Structure 1
Amino acid sequence: MPHLIDFAAALAKGSVEVIDLTNSLSANTPTLRLPQPYPNLIDFSLDEVSAYNEPGPFWKHHNIHTGEHIGTHLDAPIHWVSGREGLDVAGIPARRLVGPAAVIDVCNQVERNPDYLIDIPDIENWEEHNGPLPQNGWLLLRTGWDRFANDKEAFINTDQHGSHTPGITARAAEWLATDRPISGYGVETVGIDAGRAAELDPPFPAHYHLLGHDKYGITSLQNLALLPATGALIVVAPLPIVGGTGSPARVLAFVQRSS
């Protein structure tokens, strides 16, 4: 209990900063677009029910319409065929949604090559300088892609060959899923796999390996540049949708600041 009291006091005086890692959610939020013949999820929208008028003289409220995997969102195991017997969003234990953040920065590599795939040596090099990936932690991939978060075309970055966004190799995804004790993996891009991950073996390996091993994904993160490589605490807060394969989520980080 004293630790929690100290934490609350640090929040109050600002020596622990709360950083919002979430992209805003609106009809303009960039979303994944699957090629034909696959159907896409609906974009986010609000449907006004009342606004201090006859349907509701003292209040304003809306119905919301959205796909599960829209904006900053969490992928649950049952989202992928490899995790089909796993947990839905509501079933994920709360303790797995809170943990230390490990931030790996590959902005320079992505600046030179938007299709850059992080590989095992990248992560091992990070561990040599920062220590092993933490138990129940979240590996967050900083690529600088959040600068495109309000530009649908640049965010998806599609040409005649497909989408060009960074991600992870198949072997690194399997290695993270089986050899490292993390809870999940987070990215600044529209999905936890690279834009051209359908060409890998297996296709979409981050989804296949991580979700198939009871590890979770978060996408469309913002402000990773404000986090240290280690030392931040992350909180991932999806809606507990029964049967949900994913959910828009508010993602917060707590960072100790020097006085």
Structure 2
Amino acid sequence: MRISCPGHLYPLVILFYLPLCLSGCGQKPVASEADAVTAITLTQAYEVLQQKKFVDLTHAFEPGIPHWPGFPNETVKTIYWYDKQPDTLGTGFFAQLYCHVGQWGTHADPPAHFIKGGRTLDQIEVKEMILPLVLFDVHQAVKQNPDYTITMDDVRQWEAKHGPVPKNAFAVMRTDWSQRWPDDAAMHNRDKAGIAHYPGWSREVLQYLYEERGITASGHETTDTDPGVATSQDDYFLETYILSQNHYQIELLTNLDQLPEAGALAVVTFPKPKGGSGFPARVFAILP
């Protein structure tokens, strides 16, 4: 029996086909892959996923972390503590008051962040949060040139090895820039003239991924979608493009060096502030 399916579905399809093979391959009609996935129970899927390796792609946030220079720093205040009794319950507890901008640490940018009338965080569907993970590894090129922007040759090389970028994917660019975290000067990498030098996406690649391959979202390790030489001139053309396409993005990812180029799943989550223009996210990968 031959099974052909996207790599991230192999565990689920195998769960369906295994009983058929154990009872005698060829003695029963072969079900389609769609039937195979439909037949898997959520309990079975959960049991498969629990055997996999999970990788956290999120920085812990705190005051003083790298951020856009126009934003104020985070403040955190402890307003209740264990050894105090704030009410009639007779026991103390730990509670903190946080104050920070939405674009803080590893965070989600919804369309409304740049596009007036665009979707806000509470309007992002939950089905847009569990996605096939596609990783473009350009970290070696970035070592040679910190201003490197991903090219269509990088994408073509990926597709030559793994097939077409799957629809609804979460596409991320590995640059290993997150290894500079949380050193703000190293993250921005400014020269004597104040120009930042860090890698970024390119218009041709983003347009190909969103408009031709139909990805759902994209992410990166740097503070911005656009390369540093562009943002130093207040040029956020590429981020504007993504958000204008009614898609969201994730900035300041980490641990991308622990991921395969294909076959993993991404879980991209964030709070649901009403009308929210951005918020810290919790992003992780489930490896094949």
Instruction: Please give the range of the TM-score, normalised by the shorter of the 2 chains.
Output: 0.7 to 0.9
Checking the alignment, whether the CA contact within 8 Å between 1:173 and 1:205 is kept in structure 2 is no
Q: Does 1:31 align with 2:60?
A: no
Q: How does 1:25-174 map to 2 (within 5 A)?
A: 25-33=61-69, 40-54=70-84, 56=86, 57-80=91-114, 83-159=115-191, 160-174=193-207
Q: Does 1:20 align with 2:53?
A: no
Inter-partner Cα distance in structure 1 for 2:48 and 2:142: 36
User: Residues 111-166 of structure 1, C-alpha deviation per residue, up to 9 Å, x if partnerless?
Assistant: 00111001222212211211111111111100011111121210121222411110
SS of match in other structure, 2:93? strand
Checking the alignment, whether the CA contact within 8 Å between 1:177 and 1:209 is kept in structure 2 is no
Inter-partner Cα distance in structure 2 for 1:168 and 1:211: 14
Q: Does 1:183 align with 2:216?
A: yes
Inter-partner Cα distance in structure 2 for 1:197 and 1:133: 27
After superposing the two structures, state which structure 1 stretch, 167-176 or 152-161, moved more. Answer: 167-176
Checking the alignment, whether the CA contact within 8 Å between 1:146 and 1:223 is kept in structure 2 is yes
SS of match in other structure, 2:228? coil
**Cα drift, residue 107 of structure 1:** 0.7
**Cα drift, residue 247 of structure 1:** 1.0
Inter-partner Cα distance in structure 2 for 1:206 and 1:216: 12
Alpha-carbon spacing, 1:123–1:142, altered in 2? closer, same or farther (3 Å) = same
Q: Residue 204 of structure 1 aligns with which residue? A: 236
Q: Residue 256 of structure 2 aligns with which residue? A: 224
Q: Does 1:7 align with 2:41?
A: no
SS of match in other structure, 1:42? coil
Alpha-carbon spacing, 1:6–1:209, altered in 2? closer, same or farther (3 Å) = same
Inter-partner Cα distance in structure 1 for 2:237 and 2:85: 49
Amino acid at match of 1:48: T
Q: Unpaired segments of 5 or more residues in structure 1? A: 34-39
Which structure has the larger Rg over C-alpha atoms? 2
Checking the alignment, whether the CA contact within 8 Å between 1:164 and 1:196 is kept in structure 2 is yes
TM-score if structure 1 supplies the norm length? Answer: 0.88
**Cα drift, residue 237 of structure 1:** 0.8
Inter-partner Cα distance in structure 2 for 1:6 and 1:17: 17
**Cα drift, residue 199 of structure 1:** 7.6
Inter-partner Cα distance in structure 2 for 1:210 and 1:5: 36
The correspondence for 1:193, drawn from 226, 249, 253, is 226
Inter-partner Cα distance in structure 1 for 2:242 and 2:133: 17
User: Residues 70-121 of structure 1, C-alpha deviation per residue, up to 9 Å, x if partnerless?
Assistant: 11001100111xx322200110111112100000100110000111001222
* Structure with the bigger percentage of strand: 1
Q: Residue 37 of structure 1 aligns with which residue? A: none
Inter-partner Cα distance in structure 1 for 2:235 and 2:65: 26
Checking the alignment, whether the CA contact within 8 Å between 1:174 and 1:205 is kept in structure 2 is no
User: Residues 39-84 of structure 1, C-alpha deviation per residue, up to 9 Å, x if partnerless?
Assistant: x22222311101124463420101111111111001100111xx32
After superposing the two structures, state which structure 1 stretch, 53-62 or 24-33, moved more. Answer: 53-62
After superposing the two structures, state which structure 1 stretch, 49-58 or 86-95, moved more. Answer: 49-58
Checking the alignment, whether the CA contact within 8 Å between 1:146 and 1:222 is kept in structure 2 is yes
**Cα drift, residue 4 of structure 1:** 2.5
SS of match in other structure, 2:76? strand
Inter-partner Cα distance in structure 1 for 2:85 and 2:184: 35
The correspondence for 2:280, drawn from 248, 251, 257, is 248
Checking the alignment, whether the CA contact within 8 Å between 1:149 and 1:220 is kept in structure 2 is no
